[in-house]
Amino acid sequence: MKKLLIAAVMTACLLCSCRAADTTPEKLAESGVMQLEISDNGREYSAALSRDKGVWEYEFSAPESVKGMTVKSENGSYTVTLEKLAFTESCEKLSKTSPMVLITKALDMCVSGKGITAKKQGSKTIDSGVVEGADFTVTFEGDKPLSMEIGGEIAVSFK
């Protein structure tokens, strides 16, 4: 019986030591431009996402139906522009489950490091948190984001 108990404890210790190590979350730079490939429930989008001093701007390049559209979030409002058409509205009116909202809020958390836990897996760091009730992860290599997953429905690849 004693040998069985010792074997069980040693097995548990070995299993625990194989998990990813806790680490400091990677912080995303406060300013920069990222190329994104976004998949949301079978819909695919390509966009450049820029951030400068808390101002986020998406510029879509695909699909054709939104090519050239920009969405800029600044000072509690957002502006959507497509060719000569533009409108501005309060950010409060955006759906909290919009992929743009979830992606930018998760990235804001990665900029601040607040509400983020991190695990090291080989050369990669996986930051995780919760945004608008949805779990998310961002995989980094160094300070460069590689991918993001939000709530099992939104997948983002950073190019």
How wide is the angle at C-alpha 99 spanned by C-alphas 46 and 51, nearest 5°? 70
User: According to the model, what pLDDT value does residue 15 have?
Assistant: 37
Domains along the sequence of the chain with CATH: 20-158 (2.50.20.10)
Give the tens place of pLDDT for each residue, 92-143. 988 889 999 999 999 999 989 899 999 999 999 999 999 999 999 999 998 8
E strand or H helix at 12, and its extent?
helix 2-17
* Cα 55 versus chain centre, distance: 16
Tokens of 126: 């996986």
User: According to the model, what pLDDT value does residue 137 have?
Assistant: 97
- Whether the full predicted model's pTM is greater than 0.95, yes or no, is no
* pLDDT of 6 above 70: no
* pLDDT of 66 above 80: yes
